Amino acid sequence: MILVTGGTGLVGAHLLLSLAESKVPLRAIYRTDNSRKKTKKLFAHYGKEALYDTIEWVQGDVLDIPSLEIAFEGVEYVYHCAAVVSFDPSDEEILRKTNIEGTANMVNCALAFGVQKFCHVSSIAALGDATAHGGTITEETEWNPEKSHSDYAISKYGAEMEVWRAWQEGLNVVVVNPGVIFGYGFWQQGSGAILRAVQRGQYFYTLGNCAVVAVTDVVAVMIQLMQSSNTGERYTVVAENITYKTLLDIVANGLGKTRPYIYATPLLTRLAWRADWLLSKFLRHKRMLTRSMAKSAHSTEVYDSSKLKTAINFSFSDTTAFIKQLCSSFKTKV
Protein backbone atom coordinates (compact mmCIF):
# COMPACT_ATOMS: atom_id res chain seq x y z
CA MET A 1 0.00 0.00 0.00
CA ILE A 2 1.24 3.49 -0.93
CA LEU A 3 0.20 6.52 1.11
CA VAL A 4 0.20 10.01 -0.40
CA THR A 5 -0.24 13.27 1.50
CA GLY A 6 -0.99 16.50 -0.33
CA GLY A 7 -2.98 14.60 -2.95
CA THR A 8 -5.27 17.59 -3.35
CA GLY A 9 -2.38 19.83 -4.45
CA LEU A 10 -0.45 20.20 -7.70
CA VAL A 11 2.33 17.65 -7.11
CA GLY A 12 0.27 15.21 -5.06
CA ALA A 13 -2.62 15.11 -7.54
CA HIS A 14 -0.34 14.47 -10.52
CA LEU A 15 1.51 11.85 -8.46
CA LEU A 16 -1.78 10.07 -7.69
CA LEU A 17 -2.65 10.09 -11.38
CA SER A 18 0.68 8.54 -12.34
CA LEU A 19 0.59 5.93 -9.57
CA ALA A 20 -3.04 5.06 -10.30
CA GLU A 21 -2.12 4.32 -13.91
CA SER A 22 0.29 1.70 -12.55
CA LYS A 23 -2.65 0.10 -10.73
CA VAL A 24 -0.86 -0.05 -7.37
CA PRO A 25 -2.87 0.03 -4.11
CA LEU A 26 -3.24 3.73 -3.25
CA ARG A 27 -4.40 5.63 -0.20
CA ALA A 28 -4.55 9.43 0.03
CA ILE A 29 -5.21 11.78 2.91
CA TYR A 30 -7.67 14.62 2.45
CA ARG A 31 -8.92 17.33 4.81
CA THR A 32 -12.35 18.19 3.38
CA ASP A 33 -14.60 16.82 0.64
CA ASN A 34 -14.30 20.12 -1.20
CA SER A 35 -10.49 19.84 -1.31
CA ARG A 36 -10.70 16.73 -3.52
CA LYS A 37 -12.61 18.43 -6.34
CA LYS A 38 -9.51 19.73 -8.15
CA THR A 39 -7.89 16.30 -8.04
CA LYS A 40 -11.03 14.72 -9.48
CA LYS A 41 -11.10 17.38 -12.22
CA LEU A 42 -7.48 16.60 -13.05
CA PHE A 43 -8.28 12.91 -13.54
CA ALA A 44 -11.31 13.88 -15.65
CA HIS A 45 -9.18 16.20 -17.82
CA TYR A 46 -7.02 13.23 -18.78
CA GLY A 47 -10.00 10.90 -19.16
CA LYS A 48 -9.04 8.89 -16.07
CA GLU A 49 -12.19 9.21 -13.94
CA ALA A 50 -12.29 5.46 -13.37
CA LEU A 51 -8.78 5.52 -11.90
CA TYR A 52 -9.80 8.22 -9.44
CA ASP A 53 -12.32 5.80 -7.95
CA THR A 54 -9.57 3.24 -7.26
CA ILE A 55 -7.95 5.53 -4.68
CA GLU A 56 -8.78 4.94 -1.04
CA TRP A 57 -9.36 8.37 0.48
CA VAL A 58 -8.90 8.79 4.23
CA GLN A 59 -9.94 11.99 5.94
CA GLY A 60 -7.14 13.33 8.11
CA ASP A 61 -4.48 15.93 8.68
CA VAL A 62 -0.71 15.79 9.16
CA LEU A 63 -1.28 17.63 12.45
CA ASP A 64 -3.84 15.10 13.67
CA ILE A 65 -1.93 12.04 14.88
CA PRO A 66 -4.99 9.78 15.51
CA SER A 67 -6.07 10.26 11.87
CA LEU A 68 -2.53 9.49 10.70
CA GLU A 69 -2.49 6.28 12.69
CA ILE A 70 -5.56 5.15 10.73
CA ALA A 71 -4.04 6.22 7.42
CA PHE A 72 -0.74 4.40 8.05
CA GLU A 73 -2.31 0.96 8.63
CA GLY A 74 -0.72 -1.50 6.18
CA VAL A 75 1.32 1.19 4.40
CA GLU A 76 4.73 0.29 2.95
CA TYR A 77 5.66 3.42 1.00
CA VAL A 78 4.93 7.08 1.69
CA TYR A 79 5.06 10.16 -0.52
CA HIS A 80 4.82 13.25 1.66
CA CYS A 81 3.71 16.13 -0.60
CA ALA A 82 1.56 18.07 1.87
CA ALA A 83 2.84 21.53 2.79
CA VAL A 84 1.81 25.13 3.15
CA VAL A 85 3.37 27.43 0.55
CA SER A 86 3.29 31.12 1.43
CA PHE A 87 5.68 34.05 1.47
CA ASP A 88 3.43 36.21 3.60
CA PRO A 89 5.08 36.86 7.00
CA SER A 90 1.66 36.67 8.66
CA ASP A 91 1.59 32.94 7.83
CA GLU A 92 4.74 32.17 9.83
CA GLU A 93 2.95 30.13 12.49
CA ILE A 94 0.97 27.93 10.11
CA LEU A 95 4.06 27.45 7.92
CA ARG A 96 6.18 26.19 10.78
CA LYS A 97 3.41 24.13 12.35
CA THR A 98 2.29 22.35 9.16
CA ASN A 99 5.63 22.02 7.39
CA ILE A 100 7.83 21.17 10.38
CA GLU A 101 5.52 19.65 12.99
CA GLY A 102 3.43 17.95 10.31
CA THR A 103 6.52 16.36 8.76
CA ALA A 104 7.71 15.25 12.20
CA ASN A 105 4.37 13.50 12.73
CA MET A 106 4.67 11.82 9.34
CA VAL A 107 8.15 10.40 9.84
CA ASN A 108 7.33 9.35 13.40
CA CYS A 109 4.36 7.35 12.09
CA ALA A 110 6.51 5.94 9.29
CA LEU A 111 8.98 4.65 11.87
CA ALA A 112 6.25 3.32 14.16
CA PHE A 113 4.44 1.46 11.35
CA GLY A 114 7.56 0.02 9.73
CA VAL A 115 7.32 1.91 6.43
CA GLN A 116 9.90 0.65 3.94
CA LYS A 117 10.65 3.97 2.22
CA PHE A 118 9.64 7.61 2.57
CA CYS A 119 9.81 10.34 -0.11
CA HIS A 120 9.70 13.92 1.11
CA VAL A 121 8.92 16.81 -1.22
CA SER A 122 11.05 19.72 -0.11
CA SER A 123 12.09 22.79 -2.14
CA ILE A 124 15.14 24.54 -3.53
CA ALA A 125 14.32 27.11 -0.84
CA ALA A 126 15.69 24.59 1.70
CA LEU A 127 19.02 24.21 -0.09
CA GLY A 128 22.14 26.09 0.99
CA ASP A 129 23.25 29.64 0.27
CA ALA A 130 25.79 30.47 -2.41
CA THR A 131 28.90 32.08 -0.97
CA ALA A 132 29.20 34.52 -3.86
CA HIS A 133 26.55 36.53 -5.68
CA GLY A 134 25.24 34.52 -8.60
CA GLY A 135 26.88 31.29 -7.41
CA THR A 136 25.76 27.75 -8.23
CA ILE A 137 23.82 25.85 -5.57
CA THR A 138 23.90 22.07 -5.21
CA GLU A 139 22.71 19.59 -2.60
CA GLU A 140 26.02 20.04 -0.79
CA THR A 141 25.86 23.83 -0.50
CA GLU A 142 25.74 24.75 3.18
CA TRP A 143 22.79 26.54 4.74
CA ASN A 144 23.89 29.79 6.36
CA PRO A 145 21.75 30.40 9.48
CA GLU A 146 23.01 33.99 9.69
CA LYS A 147 21.64 34.85 6.26
CA SER A 148 18.09 36.17 5.90
CA HIS A 149 15.62 33.50 4.75
CA SER A 150 11.88 33.59 4.16
CA ASP A 151 9.61 31.90 6.69
CA TYR A 152 8.74 29.40 3.97
CA ALA A 153 12.40 28.51 3.41
CA ILE A 154 12.98 28.12 7.14
CA SER A 155 9.95 25.85 7.46
CA LYS A 156 11.07 23.62 4.58
CA TYR A 157 14.60 23.46 5.97
CA GLY A 158 13.17 22.52 9.37
CA ALA A 159 11.01 19.84 7.75
CA GLU A 160 14.09 18.31 6.14
CA MET A 161 15.79 18.19 9.53
CA GLU A 162 12.92 16.00 10.76
CA VAL A 163 13.37 13.70 7.75
CA TRP A 164 17.13 13.39 8.35
CA ARG A 165 16.49 12.68 12.00
CA ALA A 166 14.18 9.81 10.99
CA TRP A 167 16.82 8.54 8.55
CA GLN A 168 19.31 8.34 11.41
CA GLU A 169 16.70 6.34 13.31
CA GLY A 170 16.49 3.77 10.50
CA LEU A 171 13.90 5.07 8.01
CA ASN A 172 14.85 4.81 4.33
CA VAL A 173 14.28 8.27 2.86
CA VAL A 174 14.77 10.29 -0.32
CA VAL A 175 14.25 14.04 -0.52
CA VAL A 176 13.46 16.00 -3.68
CA ASN A 177 14.07 19.75 -3.92
CA PRO A 178 12.10 21.10 -6.89
CA GLY A 179 12.24 24.61 -8.28
CA VAL A 180 9.11 26.47 -9.42
CA ILE A 181 6.74 23.72 -10.55
CA PHE A 182 4.49 24.19 -13.57
CA GLY A 183 1.57 21.89 -14.23
CA TYR A 184 -2.04 21.57 -15.33
CA GLY A 185 -4.84 22.69 -13.01
CA PHE A 186 -4.56 24.41 -9.63
CA TRP A 187 -4.48 27.76 -11.39
CA GLN A 188 -5.11 29.72 -8.19
CA GLN A 189 -1.87 28.70 -6.49
CA GLY A 190 1.86 28.35 -7.05
CA SER A 191 3.01 28.84 -10.63
CA GLY A 192 -0.63 29.32 -11.63
CA ALA A 193 -0.30 32.83 -10.18
CA ILE A 194 2.30 33.62 -12.87
CA LEU A 195 -0.07 32.62 -15.65
CA ARG A 196 -2.90 34.61 -14.11
CA ALA A 197 -0.69 37.70 -13.71
CA VAL A 198 0.34 37.60 -17.37
CA GLN A 199 -3.25 36.98 -18.42
CA ARG A 200 -4.32 40.16 -16.60
CA GLY A 201 -1.37 42.13 -17.99
CA GLN A 202 2.13 41.86 -16.51
CA TYR A 203 4.21 44.83 -17.64
CA PHE A 204 7.13 44.68 -15.20
CA TYR A 205 10.06 42.28 -15.28
CA THR A 206 13.32 41.65 -13.46
CA LEU A 207 16.53 39.96 -14.58
CA GLY A 208 16.83 37.57 -11.68
CA ASN A 209 16.99 33.81 -12.31
CA CYS A 210 14.11 31.40 -11.94
CA ALA A 211 14.59 27.62 -11.57
CA VAL A 212 11.69 25.83 -13.28
CA VAL A 213 10.49 22.27 -13.76
CA ALA A 214 7.40 20.48 -15.10
CA VAL A 215 5.23 18.70 -12.55
CA THR A 216 5.33 15.56 -14.69
CA ASP A 217 9.11 15.51 -14.32
CA VAL A 218 8.90 15.98 -10.54
CA VAL A 219 6.49 13.06 -10.27
CA ALA A 220 8.60 10.85 -12.53
CA VAL A 221 11.70 11.62 -10.45
CA MET A 222 9.91 10.80 -7.20
CA ILE A 223 8.65 7.45 -8.46
CA GLN A 224 12.02 6.45 -9.93
CA LEU A 225 13.84 7.37 -6.72
CA MET A 226 11.37 5.37 -4.64
CA GLN A 227 11.83 2.36 -6.90
CA SER A 228 15.63 2.66 -6.75
CA SER A 229 18.01 1.57 -4.00
CA ASN A 230 18.96 5.19 -3.27
CA THR A 231 18.38 6.28 0.30
CA GLY A 232 19.55 9.01 2.64
CA GLU A 233 20.01 11.48 -0.23
CA ARG A 234 18.47 14.74 -1.44
CA TYR A 235 18.15 15.72 -5.08
CA THR A 236 17.74 19.11 -6.74
CA VAL A 237 14.94 18.85 -9.32
CA VAL A 238 15.38 21.75 -11.73
CA ALA A 239 15.03 21.41 -15.50
CA GLU A 240 16.25 24.88 -16.39
CA ASN A 241 17.54 28.12 -14.89
CA ILE A 242 16.11 31.06 -16.83
CA THR A 243 15.58 34.75 -16.16
CA TYR A 244 12.19 35.94 -15.00
CA LYS A 245 12.07 38.06 -18.17
CA THR A 246 12.49 34.98 -20.34
CA LEU A 247 9.88 33.06 -18.35
CA LEU A 248 7.34 35.87 -18.57
CA ASP A 249 8.00 36.21 -22.30
CA ILE A 250 7.33 32.49 -22.82
CA VAL A 251 4.06 32.72 -20.88
CA ALA A 252 3.03 35.93 -22.66
CA ASN A 253 3.67 34.33 -26.05
CA GLY A 254 1.71 31.25 -25.02
CA LEU A 255 -1.26 33.31 -23.85
CA GLY A 256 -1.12 35.78 -26.73
CA LYS A 257 -0.45 38.69 -24.37
CA THR A 258 1.96 41.64 -24.47
CA ARG A 259 5.41 40.83 -23.15
CA PRO A 260 6.55 42.74 -20.06
CA TYR A 261 8.55 45.79 -21.11
CA ILE A 262 9.24 47.81 -17.95
CA TYR A 263 12.37 46.86 -16.02
CA ALA A 264 11.68 46.74 -12.27
CA THR A 265 14.96 47.83 -10.71
CA PRO A 266 15.99 46.67 -7.24
CA LEU A 267 15.08 50.13 -5.95
CA LEU A 268 11.63 49.92 -7.51
CA THR A 269 10.91 46.50 -6.02
CA ARG A 270 12.12 47.68 -2.59
CA LEU A 271 9.66 50.55 -2.77
CA ALA A 272 6.94 48.22 -4.06
CA TRP A 273 7.14 45.69 -1.23
CA ARG A 274 7.04 48.49 1.35
CA ALA A 275 3.99 49.99 -0.34
CA ASP A 276 2.35 46.55 -0.41
CA TRP A 277 3.05 46.12 3.31
CA LEU A 278 1.42 49.48 4.05
CA LEU A 279 -1.64 48.71 1.94
CA SER A 280 -2.03 45.31 3.55
CA LYS A 281 -2.23 47.00 6.96
CA PHE A 282 -4.88 49.49 5.87
CA LEU A 283 -6.93 47.20 3.63
CA ARG A 284 -6.37 44.01 5.65
CA HIS A 285 -5.53 41.83 2.64
CA LYS A 286 -2.89 39.18 2.04
CA ARG A 287 0.52 40.37 0.92
CA MET A 288 1.08 40.44 -2.85
CA LEU A 289 4.80 41.29 -2.68
CA THR A 290 6.99 40.67 0.33
CA ARG A 291 10.59 41.57 1.11
CA SER A 292 11.80 38.03 0.42
CA MET A 293 9.88 37.92 -2.89
CA ALA A 294 11.37 41.23 -3.99
CA LYS A 295 14.85 40.03 -3.09
CA SER A 296 14.35 36.72 -4.91
CA ALA A 297 13.22 38.55 -8.06
CA HIS A 298 16.78 39.87 -8.50
CA SER A 299 18.69 36.76 -7.38
CA THR A 300 20.99 35.27 -10.01
CA GLU A 301 21.75 32.02 -8.20
CA VAL A 302 21.79 28.88 -10.34
CA TYR A 303 20.64 25.42 -9.22
CA ASP A 304 22.44 22.30 -10.42
CA SER A 305 20.59 19.00 -10.97
CA SER A 306 23.66 17.00 -12.02
CA LYS A 307 23.42 14.68 -9.01
CA LEU A 308 19.90 13.60 -9.97
CA LYS A 309 20.75 13.08 -13.64
CA THR A 310 23.62 10.83 -12.62
CA ALA A 311 21.72 8.91 -9.94
CA ILE A 312 18.83 7.75 -12.11
CA ASN A 313 19.95 8.81 -15.61
CA PHE A 314 17.05 11.27 -15.83
CA SER A 315 16.33 13.62 -18.74
CA PHE A 316 14.07 16.62 -18.17
CA SER A 317 11.29 17.76 -20.48
CA ASP A 318 11.71 20.85 -22.65
CA THR A 319 10.32 23.50 -20.30
CA THR A 320 9.54 26.05 -23.02
CA ALA A 321 7.43 23.55 -24.94
CA PHE A 322 5.77 22.34 -21.73
CA ILE A 323 4.84 25.86 -20.58
CA LYS A 324 3.50 26.77 -24.02
CA GLN A 325 1.27 23.71 -23.94
CA LEU A 326 0.22 24.59 -20.42
CA CYS A 327 -0.75 28.09 -21.55
CA SER A 328 -3.00 26.60 -24.23
CA SER A 329 -4.81 24.56 -21.55
CA PHE A 330 -5.00 27.60 -19.26
CA LYS A 331 -6.71 29.72 -21.92
CA THR A 332 -9.52 27.19 -22.23
CA LYS A 333 -10.15 27.14 -18.48
CA VAL A 334 -10.27 30.86 -17.59
Supply the pLDDT for residue 106: 95
Residue 97 DSSP class: I
Supply the pLDDT for residue 331: 73
The residues facing 211 across adjacent strands are 241
Q: Whole-model pTM?
A: 0.92
Per-residue pLDDT tens for 119-144?
Answer: 999 999 999 887 655 578 888 888 88
Residue 256 has pLDDT above 80, yes or no: yes
User: pLDDT confidence of 273, banded at 50, 70, 90?
Assistant: low
d(CA 164, CA 65): 20
**Average pLDDT, stretch 300-327?**
90
Residue 268 has pLDDT above 80, yes or no: no
Quick check: 207 and 242 in contact, CB under 8 A? no
Per DSSP, the three-state class of 297 is coil
